[in-house]
Structure 1
């Protein structure tokens, strides 16, 4: 596996050495050898073949190497973008929805898809990238659901939404603005504060069906992971 010179200089050892690879949400690690060639070409060899086999990496797949925070020196979390998904992008329906004006970077997309794959979904995830209005930077604590997601999954009336995360619960109020926009307000500020949300963090809202109360489990991806 060839590593570009610019990325190698910024994140890899400045000499031939072992590095650590891991997959998001998994405990297994691989220890390939990083080589800095005399011709200026940087490569990973050795256990890289084990990584390829264990993760069924195929030609055309994209591997995104993200330095792992707190994972030790020269440790990388590797996210995979499968060639099959890209080849059928016109027919591929991602397991999540974004607001119309939001976009995920390739790294964010890979992390979100990995997370979605690990969840037994009952509906699309709603993905919200935290901005200043969401987390109170300008004194406001409001989260608006995208119109497409709201039309498919949310009631057309003001309701209490129960947010759950890691065994804790927060009661929030969903209000209707301008006759059609669905926003979370009451209780959302407490959720933001308790979970220390920051601009750039990503919240994945997992709707749970057949519950007495309208309930969503919230998965948080720190901006430091992206």
Structure 2
């Protein structure tokens, strides 16, 4: 089963927008999965460096990553156009995976700790707008495939806040479409805590060559139809 303490969100950084001020954490993430985030946390990016940061709410009730994000940005070597996935471990730490515009994950060989925070500023863009420009329209949810998604149970747990609103209220068959338009029937099982894809999901994974680390964006087209966009690891 999926680890109940690990949840992810993503952010997109556009080319030409590489001077950041702060990084906002999506409000749905903090409201549903991380209501009691600490003031002090750490980030570890593609080069293995652990950077201390502070988390602070702004006037719009968003939690922002501040006081340390600047150096993490530099150490991660952001250039614009990266797709970043933040996974929270439930204990003040985020693992950050960075995917380049080519779809390849950025991997590093350096390890250490961040220090000497400077005054570089960053500006965060609206992820929803960027996905819409890429042809992906809300509602959608994002899942990064981890090792336990490939165990003997072969199920996929879903974001319940979206599932309850947009998917069937009872057990049903939904259709998953890939980018070529091929379709797979998958059993959808709604639950109070977390809904799942079960029977048929393993066939979708195998037929599309999904593997650990792949990032999947599930674009909900209708109550019984979802298009799956895959960003390979």
The normalised TM-score by structure 1 is 0.48
Q: Which structure would you say has the larger Rg?
A: 1
TM-score, with length taken from structure 2: 0.46
